[in-house]
Amino acid sequence: MRPFTPEEAESALFFAERPPWGSELRGNIKAEYCDPMPPLNAKGGRDAEGWRCVFSAVITEGMSNPLGNMHGGCSATIVDVMTSAAIATISSDKFWGLPMLSGVSVTLDMQYFHPGLMWVLGPARAS
């Protein structure tokens, strides 16, 4: 994998910044790495099987439930939005291009094994 180019990251994060109810996502999701762009195939799309990308997120208080863990609905939203971002990253004029640019999730199956815990990010000093 390689780092996202600035243009690819901007395109991918376009989705994280759009939902008006998802203000906690803005600025808290980062496009980290992606595999090299698959070439266009004979149909004008890309053969994406095996293609990967990595995003990271900071869990904020607004994403948490009353127990201080990441809310399951928020984690499902992040997965839904970032899978759309991944599709948009490899889009072409004939594959998920405008005016569609992404799609609608039909099934999203989430299994939770451990809570996403919150902690404070800030400067630290040692003496």
CATH number, domain of 92, equals 3.10.129.10
Average pLDDT over residues 94-111: 78
Whole domain around residue 90: which residue ranges?
1-127
Distance CA 76, CA 19 (A): 14
pLDDT tens for 106-127 read 888 988 887 766 665 555 554 4
- Count of domains observed in the chain: 1
Provide the pLDDT for residue 127.
41
- Helix residue spans in 1-127 (DSSP H): 6-13, 72-89
**This prediction's pTM:** 0.70
Query: What phi-psi label fits residue 50: left (phi over 0), alpha (psi between -120 and 50 degrees) or beta?
Result: left
